[in-house]
Structure 1
């Protein structure tokens, strides 16, 4: 089993595909499941598929995200699995094969291979496919960096934060460098936005940040003061309530600076990802499985400023009892690093833990 799963991982790692382009990844995994006697069902409108085993209740879901990142690796732009989704797919595939070996059990396990997690909205597309509506429990998994939780330790929940991006535009008119009084310098307006973001306060007990992450203004002519500029903001908060507050403050800053400088400032929020809602019962079951498999206690829920669209599932379907396995894997140098590496034994640990929690959850049914 271990050799087979590592072969699958190697193939997935070598053939990464970016968000909503995971066509060959889908074809490869569907063929693999069909060869093993499963009956996978492709999604109608997006790449990806679901496959299940067993019957009746409880109905348990397993999420595997499929997409790679488009990034430069040793001077070459390529689809690169630097976030561990190749491992996640391998783990969920392994769980389904392990459950097939178990044979009969009371309940259903449905694996969901989801596209476009990196865009922050692939889960919403899966929800529209209708494959989670009848689920009772839902488990995800994510490799963790070495400096967050060391291999082989694991936690029964990941408290991801909320994230949203902002596209902004300052809509003035260019004017002569010798006549700055004839217009508004868009760069100075952008600097005012940065300044006021630094004066934006929310509850200091809850982590939150707002920062400008790109700015485009001006031309090759240094004697023209740019009236127009586009900018981008990255907003993050550890809770959904603080994220709502942060977005409102950004709106207020842009509205008031627009009035002060007498120049249009328009903003658009996009790629919103909610903060995690970890279900106590699901987390307790997962903690028991971690302790059973690893023979060591589960770590407390990991708190991380990163985001994951897994949490749209519980926002959109509040009945789901969901949590995500924080899988200690000694990820180095870090997630999204083009040369990300991890301890491959974590794949085996993930398979055994998630298999155990599926069987354990069925006993609750």
Structure 2
């Protein structure tokens, strides 16, 4: 298998370079969708796209047992060298290259799945809503195992190493509006200063206490109040909060604590405070069987010493909505080390490109291992290539 991947290297780099040069932000990945569809149809996959949203679902094989592999597609909107533009600073161009590489590799080695193999290219991961849209579209209907991949920063996994699961935490974005009473700055007793209300909220957030054994945080990340006049008590403010928790249960308690804080501050100051919940990401619950199969694929590809334990990270990923919404679905994400630095979402993020080839091999092996272990016996006997060619 390594020899064939090496032969595909130039093709994979061409794919990566194209995707990297043509980033598209969430829900606007239309040209990316066309490119992926064209590449998959060339390999003989049955391809489905959607009229009302970007995204690609591609299949090969038949049979009730189904294995899926998912990649995200969208880029960030960032300032890069002084220019605001779409930018693949979270590695989604690499993820697409890896997953498309798996689809191509399995065709090149003549692998015939004893069941149905489905590839899912999902939009809008950065918005936290793309996975939910793909679920709505039926993209994971019938899937038994679903695998994902995400490059890991060097602080978590070094280049040449890989983890069989990424334990993402839950994340929640909440926006708020404060309405007070305007007044002349010389008569503050006649007004309700929304800046003072916002300051009180920040102070009280620090008094929300959860189990210290479970990582969690809540912080204000945006606040705007007042206009041009410095001698007027402002009566309106907008703010945003970022909430993180390692478990879904801790996130619920964090949100409950926030509501108590808001109600208390509003009562003390006589202000009206409105909260609007935006993007929410659920915490990871990787399936033990999926993790075991991924671990076996990593060891076969890189060696036992290069397989590290599941990575616990405070970041969030909407991949975990698949198993959250469909508990029968067995999932895990490959955490691929590639000396990524200085960090995810940095506008000038870089990584060691050759490690993508290991990602292709690992995911190809986990697909074949999963079919070999779980496909019904009468289907499995028709597989033309062993799981470890």
Q: Where on the TM-score scale, by shorter chain, does this alignment land: which range?
A: over 0.9
How does 1:81-96 map onto structure 2 within 5 Å? 81-96=88-103
Q: Which moved more, 1:242-251 or 1:45-54?
A: 45-54
Q: CA deviation at 1:295?
A: 1.5
Structure 2 distance, partners of 1:44, 1:286, is 34
Would you say 1:123 and 2:131 are equivalent positions? yes
How do residues 127-142 of structure 1 correspond to structure 2 at under 5 angstroms? 127-142=135-150
Does 2:25 align with 1:18? Answer: yes
Is the contact made by 2:43 and 2:107 (CA closer than 8 Å) also made in structure 1?
Answer: no
Q: 1:320 maps to which residue?
A: 329
Aligned to 1:40, the other structure's residue is in SS state strand
Q: CA deviation at 1:174?
A: 1.4
CA distance in 2, matches of 1:176, 1:243: 41
- Farther-moved stretch of structure 1 (35-44 vs 251-260): 35-44
Q: Does 2:186 match 1:175?
A: no
The alignment's TM-score, normalised by the length of structure 2, stands at: 0.92
The CA deviation string for residues 322-341 of structure 1, in whole angstroms up to 9 with x for no partner, is 00000001111110000010
The residue that corresponds to 1:201 in the other structure is: 209
Quick one: which of 357, 368, 372 aligns to 1:348?
A: 357
Q: Matches of 1:256 and 1:294 in 2, distance apart? A: 55
Moved segments of 4+, more than 2 Å: 35-39, 101-105
Structure 1 portions without partners, runs of 5+ = none
Matches within 5 A, 1:64-75: 64-75=71-82
Distance 2:302 2:116 in 1: 25
**Which segment is superposed worse, 69-78 or 51-60?**
51-60
RMSD, matched Cα: 1.0
CA distance in structure 2 between the partners assigned to 1:306 and 1:61 by the alignment: 23
Give the match for residue 69 of structure 2.
62
SS in 2 for 1:267: strand
Deviates more, 1:300-309 or 1:49-58: 49-58
Q: Distance in 2 between matches of 1:107 and 1:361?
A: 11
Q: Does the residue aligned with 1:318 lie in a helix, a strand or coil?
A: coil
Aligned pairs (5 A) from 1:131-170: 131-170=139-178
Deviation at 1:256, TM superposition (A): 1.3
Question: Could you tell me which of 304, 314, 317 is aligned with 1:305?
Answer: 314
SS at match of 1:99: helix
- Once the two structures are TM-superposed, the CA of residue 262 in structure 1 deviates from its matched residue by 1.0
Deviation at 1:57, TM superposition (A): 4.3
Number of the residue aligned with 2:284: 276
Q: Distance in 2 between matches of 1:262 and 1:147?
A: 46
1:48 partnered with 2:32: no
Whole-angstrom distance in 1 between the partners of 2:336 and 2:62? 28
Question: Structure 2 CA distance, aligned partners of 1:54 and 1:36?
Answer: 13
Secondary structure of the residue that 1:337 maps to in structure 2? coil
**Alpha-carbon distance, 1:36 to partner:** 2.6
> Is the Cα–Cα contact under 8 Å of residues 57 and 106 in structure 1 kept in the other structure?
no
Matched, 1:38 2:76: no
The one of 89, 104, 111 aligned to 2:119: 111
SS in 1 for 2:327: coil
Question: 1:108 offset after TM fit, Å?
Answer: 2.0
Distance 1:32 1:12 in 2: 12
Write the distance in 1 (CA, Å) between the matches of 2:208 and 2:360. Answer: 44
